[in-house]
Amino acid sequence: MQDLYPSRVGAEPALAPRRDPVLHGPSRGSLGEEQRRKLEHDGYLCLPELLAPAESDVLLAELDALRRAPEMRGRPEVVLEPDSEAIRSVFDVHRLSRTVERMVQSDPLLSIVQELLGSDVYIHQSRVNFKPGFEGKEFYWHSDFETWHVEDGMPRMRALSVSLNLTANTPVNGPLMVIPGSHQHYVSCPGRTPSDHYQQSLRRQEYGVPTREQLALLVERGGIAAPTGPAGSAVLFDCNLMHGSAGNITPWPRSNVFVVFNSVDNTLAEPFAGIAPRPSYIASRDFRRVVRA
């Protein structure tokens, strides 16, 4: 398969124009035209009330219990903070939590994703990120698609992420930050990917990281936004949007569920880095598990 988005090939880092549309399907009424234009232009869209407050409280309690369960320690889906034994993330969370599983199959979320991707969808990846007060570490700037393309073999930019706030995401407790408009450029990164890179990168990423010059240029063009919101609100964003988050030095925790929907017409090939595929709990190859309401 031709590599339309080369990265980590030992060449100089570069910015290349996006070669795929942002909106893959026509309007079906799940979103208004202004919302569709916002997503196409900025690369992200806020969904103010994806879950009711009571629903988000139930989900947070369930995932907090999952985090505290002794049997979770040592599971491959569990990722620890880079400098401590605190749990940073739990992957494949829609298979570990029935509440998350129900959420990804519910409307209006599913209808919105199917409309924007123009096809049926499956779950490429899901995880819960815990950023506890005082000790939650940063997630450095990155494009998810660059990693999914290079390390998982995702061919094209036809996937969407949903970040659901389990707690209030405020301007000060390490919220998601995005560079509006950055999804229109493919950021080719320096270096070559080592085998089993995911074992380190999920704690602290060292490959697939843009240069400061690339980031400065993207920020000069689009600025930086922090789409904050209360528990139950969410952010829908394009797979190629440059994003990250700062550490949390406040007393207030920041926890989010991330679910990645990929088009069934964009299934994974062999990783373009020439390495072994990452485990299925990070990058699902079960394309037959189509998500339906």
CATH number at residue 115: 2.60.120.620
pLDDT of residue 29: 93
pLDDT averages per 10-residue partition of the chain, 293 residues: 88 90 96 97 95 88 88 85 79 90 89 96 94 87 95 97 95 96 95 69 67 96 96 96 95 94 96 91 85 68
DSSP-H helix ranges across 49-160 = 53-68, 93-96, 98-104, 109-117, 144-147
pLDDT of residue 266: 97
Other C-beta atoms closer than 10 Å to the C-beta of 13 total 16
Q: Which of 102, 106, 82, 84 is nearest to 93 (CA)?
A: 102
Note whether residue 285 is domain-resident.
no
pLDDT of residue 181: 98
Helix (H, G, I), strand (E, B) or coil at 36: helix
Note whether residue 280 is domain-resident.
no
Give me 212's structure tokens.
Answer: 């400061």
Note whether residue 282 is domain-resident.
no
pLDDT of residue 209: 86
Which range of residues forms the domain containing residue 170?
Answer: 14-263
Residues 6+ apart with CB under 8 A from 133: 173, 248, 250, 251, 252, 253
Other C-beta atoms closer than 10 Å to the C-beta of 11 total 10
- Upstream peptide bond of 108 is cis (omega within 30 degrees of 0): yes
Note whether residue 292 is domain-resident.
no
Note whether residue 290 is domain-resident.
no
Note whether residue 278 is domain-resident.
no
Note whether residue 150 is domain-resident.
yes
Phi, psi of 160, deg, nearest 5: -135, 145
Cβ proximity of 174 and 246 under 8 Å: yes
Note whether residue 87 is domain-resident.
yes
Q: How many domains does the chain have?
A: 1
pLDDT of residue 227: 95
Estimate to the nearest angstrom the gap between the alpha carbon of 179 and the chain centroid: 14
Q: Rounded to two decimals, what is the model's pTM?
A: 0.93
Residues 6+ apart with CB under 8 A from 195: 275, 276
